[in-house]
Amino acid sequence: MVRLLGTLLLGVYLVAAPAGGTSAGASGTALVLNIDGAIGPATADYVTHGLDGARRKGASALILKVNTPGGLDPSMRQIVAAALASPLPVLCLVAPSGARAASAGTFILYGCAVAAMAPGTTIGAATPVALGGNDKAGAEKDAHAAKAINDAAAYIRGLAELHGRNAAWAEKAVREAATLTAAEAVKDNVVDFLADSLGDLLAKSDGRRAIVAGRTVSLATAGLTTEPLPPPWHNRLLAILTNPEVAYLLLLVGIYGVVFEMMAPGNVLPGLVGGLSLLVALYALNLLPLNYAGVGLLLLGVALMAAEPFVISHGALGIGGAVAFAVGSMMMFGASQPGFTLPSWVVVGGTMGSLLVLVWMVGVAVAARRRRKMSGAEALLSAEATVVDWLGDSGHIHLSGEEWQAHSTAPLVPGATVEVTDRHGLILEVAPRRRTHHGSKGA
C-alpha cells in the first residue's frame, strides 16, 4: 500500500513538472531595485550588492525597474555580468510610462532573464556615443571607434541569442542608434511582453522558461510580494561623489586650499581641507570617464592664474589662465556621456570663482609690495628710540628692548626721543624726533 502510494505521488510529480528544465522561484519575495538616472559606478555597486542582499534574505527573484538615458560602458557590463551570473531570476521592467532604456539601458534589458516594458516607454539608441560624435562616416574611418562599435554589437547580439530575443534589431540599435516604442518592441521580439505594473510583471513571468545562471528554468513568480530595496548609505555617498559636479567642485576646493596654504604656510586649515578634498576628488575622478587633455588645460589655467601676482604680465597670464580653465572644464568630462557631463552653469561658476581668487591674490601681492618691511635693516628706519647716554656726537640708545650704539650730528641728552635715519653696520644714525604741530591756541 505504501509502495503504491509512493508510485502515485511520483507519477503526479512527473506529470506536473515542466519539461526541459528546472523550476526557479517560489512563493516569497521579489526585491525591487530602482535604477533611475545615468548608469555609473554607484549604479553598478547598487545592483551587485542588491543581488547579494537578495540571496542573503532568501528572496525568490530580483526586479530591476529601469529608467535611464544610458551611462558608462564598464558599469553597464558589470550589471549585465551580475544579472547573468545570478542564481535568482532577474526581471527587468522599463517603467513608469514615459521612461526609457536608452544606450546602456538597452544592454541591461537584453541581459535579464525577463525583459518587459510599460506602455509609453522606449528602448534603443545603443551606439557607443563617446567614441565618434554624430559623424557616422568619420566614426567608421576611425579604427578605434569601429572596433568599439563592433565589440558592442557582438556583445548585445550574444545577449539576444542567449535569451532568444531579436538579435538583428539589437545590432541595429548599436550600429544605427535605432529605437522602438514598447508596443513595437514586443511585436519585434525585442522584449518579452508589456507590463503596466510590478504585479503584472510577476504574473506574466510565471511559468515562462528563461535562462538563469546558465540553466533553463521555469519561473514561478505568481504570488510573490514585492519589496523595495533602497541603496545603502555607502552607495548613496558613492553616487554623490561620482557626480561630475561634486567631483569637479572638490577638485577646485583641493587645488585652491593647497595654493592658499603655500601662500600663507602655517594656517593649517586651508591645507587640511584642500588636501582632503583633493584626495576625495582624485578617488571620484578615477571612477569617471575623464578627458585628460581637459584636465591638463584646467591645471594649466590654475597655474597661469596663480603666477599672475608674481609676474608682470599686465593681466595676460590671468586672462589666458581663465580661458584655459574654462575650456579645460568643458572638455574634462566630454559632452557625449549621458548623465556625466558638466552643466554650463557649473563651468561658469568655477571660472568666475577662480577669477575672484585671482583678484584676491593680486590684491594681497600688491599690498605686500607696498607694505614697509618689518625685518632686517629697513625695519629700523624711522623707528623711535630713547637716548640712554650721550657724549658729543655719539652715545647709546634703547630700541625695541635692546641697546644700540648711535651717532648724531645734533646735540642730544639722555631721555630724549630720537628717530633712526640710517644704519652703518652696528651703529645707527639718529636725529631728534620731529614733532607734528597742530597749530597754536588763539588768544
What domains does the chain contain, in order, with CATH numbers?
18-234 (3.90.226.10), 239-370 (no CATH), 377-432 (2.40.50.140)
User: What pLDDT is stored for residue 76 in this prediction?
Assistant: 94
* Spatial distance between the Cα atoms of 100 and 290, rounded to a whole number of angstroms: 26
Short-list 297, 299, 255, CA closest to 275: 255
Please determine, for residue 15, whether its predicted confidence score (pLDDT) is greater than 70: no
Q: What percent of the chain has pLDDT over 90?
A: 40
Please determine, for residue 427, whether its predicted confidence score (pLDDT) is greater than 50: yes
pLDDT: which is higher, 356 or 374 = 356
Short-list 264, 277, 278, 273, CA closest to 364: 264
Please determine, for residue 141, whether its predicted confidence score (pLDDT) is greater than 80: no
How many CA atoms lie less than 13 Å away from 134 in the CB half-sphere?
1
Please determine, for residue 183, whether its predicted confidence score (pLDDT) is greater than 50: yes
User: What pLDDT is stored for residue 304 in this prediction?
Assistant: 85
Could you report how far apart the first and last alpha carbons of the chain are, in Å? 143
Q: What is the overall mean pLDDT for the chain?
A: 82
pLDDT band for position 43 (cuts 50, 70, 90): very high
Highest mean pLDDT among 188-192, 279-283, 387-391: 188-192
Q: What is the pLDDT of residues 366-382, one digit of tens each?
A: 666 665 555 556 667 77
Please determine, for residue 256, whether its predicted confidence score (pLDDT) is greater than 90: no
- Contacts of 3-11 with CB under 8 Å at 24 or more apart are none
Please determine, for residue 94, whether its predicted confidence score (pLDDT) is greater than 70: yes
Q: Could you tell me the maximum CA-CA distance found in the chain, to the nearest angstrom?
A: 143
User: What pLDDT is stored for residue 442 in this prediction?
Assistant: 43
User: What pLDDT is stored for residue 373 in this prediction?
Assistant: 53
Q: At 63, which helix (H) or strand (E)?
A: strand 61-67
User: What pLDDT is stored for residue 133 in this prediction?
Assistant: 40
Q: Is 117 helix (H, G, I), strand (E, B) or coil?
A: strand
User: What pLDDT is stored for residue 337 in this prediction?
Assistant: 65
* Spatial distance between the Cα atoms of 157 and 169, rounded to a whole number of angstroms: 9
Which amino acid would we find at residue 393? D
Over range 97-105, report the average pLDDT: 94
Over range 337-342, report the average pLDDT: 73
Task: Output the nine-digit C-alpha cell for 206.
Answer: 510565471
Task: Output the nine-digit C-alpha cell for 436.
Answer: 607734528
Residue 91 contacts residue 59 (beta carbons within 8 Å): no
Please determine, for residue 99, whether its predicted confidence score (pLDDT) is greater than 70: yes
Instruction: Please report where in the chains the cell 593649517 appears, as a residue.
Output: 268
Please determine, for residue 310, whether its predicted confidence score (pLDDT) is greater than 90: no
pLDDT band for position 147 (cuts 50, 70, 90): confident
* Spatial distance between the Cα atoms of 193 and 205, rounded to a whole number of angstroms: 9
User: What pLDDT is stored for residue 361 in this prediction?
Assistant: 72
User: What pLDDT is stored for residue 365 in this prediction?
Assistant: 65
pLDDT: which is higher, 366 or 234 = 234
* Spatial distance between the Cα atoms of 358 and 356, rounded to a whole number of angstroms: 5
User: What pLDDT is stored for residue 381 in this prediction?
Assistant: 76
Lowest mean pLDDT among 120-129, 320-329, 393-402, 434-443: 434-443
Alpha carbon separation from 436 to 102, 409, 440 (Å, rounded): 82, 21, 12
User: What pLDDT is stored for residue 207 in this prediction?
Assistant: 93
User: What pLDDT is stored for residue 375 in this prediction?
Assistant: 54
User: What pLDDT is stored for residue 151 in this prediction?
Assistant: 92
pLDDT: which is higher, 98 or 308 = 98
Please determine, for residue 266, whether its predicted confidence score (pLDDT) is greater than 50: yes
Please determine, for residue 220, whether its predicted confidence score (pLDDT) is greater than 90: yes
Task: Output the nine-digit C-alpha cell for 274.
Answer: 584642500
